């Protein structure tokens, strides 16, 4: 059987992720964040004071990528890092007022990016696709390839 990339879930998921990233980038740039920063922001809007290690565990990205993302976020005035009170090697990550104030608009931007990708879908089609995506993610988690969804 010949491989057809348009019949490949992994290839199509990659294209979909790129499309979402581009759509979010257009909207996020106006607010002052990059698509790669959005997952970190989501985690910190949910719980501030996480360490870099905790963020790594929750987001399943490379250490170097996380370090670069946090440095850029600090440079852009989105986060502050403070020494951990009980672990001298660790730093806690906190949002700045700028990042806190953009939460609603940033989530609205992500929602708009989502909506643009689902343009033309009927409600049940959107729900079905999301359910299938959740099942595929659960399969990868069961096989030890992704961290549990937070």
pLDDT value at 126 more than 70: yes
CA dist., res. 28 & res. 34, Å (int): 6
Q: What is the pLDDT of residue 9?
A: 86
Cα angle 8, 24, 131 (rounded to 5 degrees) comes to: 45
User: Residue 142 in 3-state DSSP?
Assistant: helix
CA dist., res. 51 & res. 40, Å (int): 11
Q: What is the pLDDT of residue 23?
A: 86
pLDDT value at 24 more than 70: yes
Pick from 18, 35, 33: nearest CA to 117: 18
Q: What is the pLDDT of residue 35?
A: 86
For the segment 34-54, the average pLDDT, to the nearest whole number, is 94
Asked whether 78 and 37 are in contact (CB, 8 A), the reply is yes
Q: What is the pLDDT of residue 20?
A: 87
How confident is residue 148, by pLDDT bands cut at 50, 70 and 90? Answer: low
pLDDT value at 40 more than 90: yes
Percent of the chain beyond pLDDT 70?
A: 95
Q: How far is CA 29 from CA 64, 140, 150, in A?
A: 23, 31, 25
Whole-model pTM: value is: 0.82
Quote the radius of gyration of the chain (alpha carbons, Å): 17
How confident is residue 137, by pLDDT bands cut at 50, 70 and 90? Answer: confident
How confident is residue 147, by pLDDT bands cut at 50, 70 and 90? Answer: low
How confident is residue 145, by pLDDT bands cut at 50, 70 and 90? Answer: low
Asked whether 84 and 90 are in contact (CB, 8 A), the reply is yes
């Amino acid at each position: 059987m010949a491989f057809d990339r348009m019949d490949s879930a992994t290839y199509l998921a990659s294209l979909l992720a790129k499309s979402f990233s581009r759509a979010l980038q257009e909207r996020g740039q106006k607010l002052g964040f990059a698509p790669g920063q959005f997952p970190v922001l989501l985690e910190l809007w949910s719980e501030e004071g996480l360490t870099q290690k905790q963020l790594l565990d929750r987001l399943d990205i490379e250490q170097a990528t996380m370090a670069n993302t946090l440095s850029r976020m600090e440079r852009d005035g989105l986060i502050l890092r403070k020494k951990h009170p009980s672990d001298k090697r660790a730093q806690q990550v906190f949002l700045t007022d700028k990042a806190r104030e953009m939460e609603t608009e940033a989530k609205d931007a992500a929602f708009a990016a989502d909506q643009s990708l689902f343009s033309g879908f009927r409600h049940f089609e959107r729900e079905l696709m999301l359910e299938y995506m959740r099942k595929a993610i659960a399969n990868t988690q069961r096989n030890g390839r992704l961290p549990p969804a937070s």
